[in-house]
Amino acid sequence: MHYDTDVVVIGGGLAGLLAATSAAQRGSRVTLLEGHLLGGRAQSDQRRGYVFNRGPHALYRKGAGWAALSDVGVVPRGKPPLGISDVRGELAGALVAVPTTPGALLRGGGLKRRDRFGLGAVLARLPRDPADLRGLSAWDWLNAVTSRPVTRQVVAALLRLSTYSDDLSSLSADAAIAQLQLARHGVVYLDDGWQQLVDALATTAQRAGVLVRTAVEVTNVVEEGAVVTVATAHEHLVAKAAVVAAGGPVQAAQLLGSCPWGDLGARVTASCLDLGLNKLPARPFILGLDTATYCSVHAPGAALAPPDGVAVAVAGYGYADEATLSAVAAQAGVTDSDVVERRYLHSLIVAHTQPRPGSGLAGRPGARVPGRTRTFVAGDWVGPVGLIGDAAMASGRAAGLLAATVTV
C-alpha cells in the first residue's frame, strides 16, 4: 500500500499544531491541512502598535496547556495580570474591594466581615479531587456551600472568570472547581498575544518535519481498514492515520460523515471590547459581581502595546453590547480621551461545548473516534482534562501521540 503521508492533521489551531508536532517528533511523516491561516482562535491582531487577542486570553501556569507546550519544547513568555491584588467588584452599580488573597481577607475591604469569612471558608474547603461532584452543576454546588448572597455572588464571579462561562447551571461542578483550583497557581498574559504560541508551534512543527499547507479545505475523512483517505476539493491524501482538529463536534461529524458523540451541549460565547490607551486607568482589574463582565489591564505587563501604551480587555460572558462594555471600562477610569484604538467583537466562540452536570470532565469524548482505530479528534471539547485552551492543547498532544502509534 502506498501512503502519501503517515498522519494527516486537519486544522491548524493550537490543537492541530500540537497534534502534528507530537506525531512528527515521534517519527511520523505528518501533513497538516488548514483551510485559512494557522492559529484559529489563537491568532492575534495588530492595531497601531497594540496587540489584541480574539477575546481576553490567559494561560494557566499549572494548566494542561502549559504542560503540553513544554512537552514539545515550547516555553511561553508572559507576565501575570496587573492589579490582581487590587480587584474591584461591580455590585449594584458601585465598586467594592474584592479580597482575593488570604491577607486581603483578613485586612477587610468592601465586603462585610461575614461575607469575607464566608468567601474564605468556601475557597479553603475546595475539594482536592472534585470528580465526585460531576453530578452537580456549578450553581447547585455553590448554593450548597454558602447561603450568603454576596458570598455566592463573589464566588460565582470567580467561577465565571476562570471558566469564561456565564451559565453555571449548565456547567458541571467538577470542571468549575478544577478551574478555580487552577487559578490559584496564577495565569500569564502572553507577550505578543497568543500569536506567540501559534508562531512557536508552527516553527517547532516545521523543524520536526511537518508539511504545513494552508488554504486547503478538507471535505471528508474516510477510514477503511489500514487506510485513512482525506479528501479535499482537488485531491485525496492516503494516510495511515488522521487527526480531526477543526472546529467542534459538529464540524468533526460533518467531516467524518457521522456523529458518534450525540449532543454535547451548547457553545460557550463571549463579547469583547479591546482598548488601546495612552495611560493606565485608575482601577486595573474589575470583576462584575451581579453582572457577567470583567475588565483587565493586559499591558503594561505583557508586551502588547507600544512604549507608554496600555492594552485593556473588557469582556461580557455570554453576550454584552458595546455600550455595556464601555460602561465597565469607564468604571475602571477609562475616558474617551484615553482611547487610541478600540475594537468590539460581539460574538466570540469561547468553547464549542462545556462539561455538563451528570457527565463532567470524564464524560467528554476521548481522542479516539468510536468505531475507528486510525482516526482521532482534538479540540476544546475533547478529553478529560482542562477547559478552553488547556483542553484543546492537551487533547491535541494526546491525539498526535495516538496517531503516531498506528503509523509504525
Compute the distance between CA of residue 32 and CA of residue 392 in angstroms, rounded to an integer: 16
* Residue 118 binned pLDDT confidence (cut-offs 50, 70, 90): confident
Residue 169 has pLDDT above 80, yes or no: yes
Give every strand in the sheet of 78-79, ordered side by side: 59-60, 187-190, 78-79
Phi-psi region of 134 (alpha: psi -120 to 50; beta: other; left: phi over 0): alpha
Contact (CB, 8 A) for 315 and 270: yes
pLDDT at residue 277, rounded to an integer: 98
Find the mean pLDDT for residues 312-331: 96
Q: Which residues have a Cβ under 8 Å from the Cβ of 200 and sit 6 or more positions away?
A: 69, 74
Cβ-contact 7, 245 below 8 angstroms: no
Indicate whether 242 pLDDT > 90.
Answer: yes
* DSSP symbol at 130: G
How large a percentage of the chain has pLDDT more than 70?
Answer: 96
Is the pLDDT score of 90 beyond 90?
no
Query: Which of 22, 92, 139, 125 lies closest to 289 in space, CA to CA?
Result: 92
> Is the full-model pTM beyond 0.85?
yes
pLDDT of residue 178: 96
Could you give all domains of the chain from N- to C-terminal order, each with its CATH number? 5-43+195-265+366-405 (3.50.50.60), 45-81+188-193+268-351 (3.30.519.10), 111-182 (no CATH)
Task: Quote the CA–CA distance of 3 and 225 in Å, as a whole number.
Answer: 13
Mean per-residue pLDDT, 190-195: 98
For residue 204, what pLDDT is reported? 98
Give me the mean pLDDT over the 135-140 stretch: 97
**Residues ≥6 apart with Cβ < 8 Å to 108:** 99, 116
Find, among 375, 250, 276, the residue nearest to 53 by Cα.
276
> What pLDDT is stored for residue 230 in this prediction?
98
109 has a pLDDT exceeding 70: no
